[in-house]
Amino acid sequence: MAPLGERAFSLLVDYGLIFSLNLLLFVVPGAVLGELDELAWSLCLFFSFIVNNVYFIFFELRWQGRTPGKKLNKLCVINRSGGELTPFAVVSRNITRQIEVFFPFTLFFGLFGSDSVLDVVFPVIWLIAITLLPLWNRNHLRMGDLLGNTIVIAMPDKELLPDLSGRTEKEEGPIHHFSKEQLSVYGSYELHILEEILRKAEKGVTPESLRKVVERLARRIGSPLPAALDYKSSQRFLKDFYSAQRAFLEEAKLYGRHKPNQYSPMLNLQPR
């Protein structure tokens, strides 16, 4: 899960960019036209509204769950159920931002100094219950995440270690074979995770744990399960997939393609 501090920093970066864009919208026309008339002022306000409300939706749709702030901090929005991040999910999680953040702050500062206690208590309760919701649940879900069935995760860069790739089965070759479509499902990040699993398997992992990994992997890439799912068969399946996918990703780099994680586009190894 993405740490709250990193999410807050990403949000500050994004709001900094939004503020800069808004500043340009008013400063540039003012510098060119001098004093803005009513029409020019209305147009600036309209484009400012577009920027404020479309910024997050545009980037999360175009960059597969990342805004400039998230990209800088290596965070990503994904479907909480494991499927594709749909436009509906992206729009749903972002239209609530006005309700979560701007509405309570606007209400609070608008009523600042009010003689009525209830006028101040209501926005404070709203801030605690809605705006600070990520603090009160394990996965740091906003109201928008709950509505869009999304979650924000950390996607740090992972470097593959060289020694495991050279440690192949001393047999007649791989038992399990995978198509390019199957190998293109995952990227370097997931390959690194699989490498860690295989290293732990060499030190001893329960057969049940290894079997669950095999079942999930096979289901995700659409591959038939091994005939037997004992410890040795499960380990062999994972090693065959690891070797095949690593070779596939290294071949992709020769064509200038890189797939950092499973949320990146499918690879096409045809020369450009």
Q: Do 101 and 16 share a domain, yes or no?
A: yes
Q: Do 176 and 236 share a domain, yes or no?
A: yes
Q: Do 82 and 205 share a domain, yes or no?
A: no
What is the per-residue pLDDT for 167?
Answer: 47
Domain boundary among 154, 184, 208: 154
46-96 pLDDT, tens digit per residue, is 888 888 888 999 999 888 888 999 989 888 888 887 667 888 888 888 888
Closest CA to 190 of 82, 85, 55, 118: 82
Question: Does residue 271 lie within any of the structural domains?
Answer: no
Mapped onto helix, strand or coil, the DSSP state of residue 60 is helix
Q: Do 147 and 215 share a domain, yes or no?
A: no
Q: Do 126 and 196 share a domain, yes or no?
A: no
Burial bucket for residue 82 (CB in 10 Å: 0-12, 13-18, 19+):
exposed
Task: Tell me the average pLDDT across 224-249.
Answer: 85
Question: Does residue 268 lie within any of the structural domains?
Answer: no
Q: Do 139 and 210 share a domain, yes or no?
A: no
127-139 pLDDT, tens digit per residue, is 677 767 777 777 7
Q: How far apart are CA 67 and CA 15, in angstroms?
A: 11
Residues contacting residue 240 through CB under 8 Å, at least 6 positions apart: 174, 175, 176, 177, 178
Question: Does residue 73 lie within any of the structural domains?
Answer: yes
**Position 177 confidence tier, pLDDT thresholds 50, 70, 90:** confident
Question: Does residue 145 lie within any of the structural domains?
Answer: yes
Q: How far apart are CA 97 and CA 105, in angstroms?
A: 12
Task: Tell me the average pLDDT across 186-212.
Answer: 80
Residue 242: domain span? 162-254
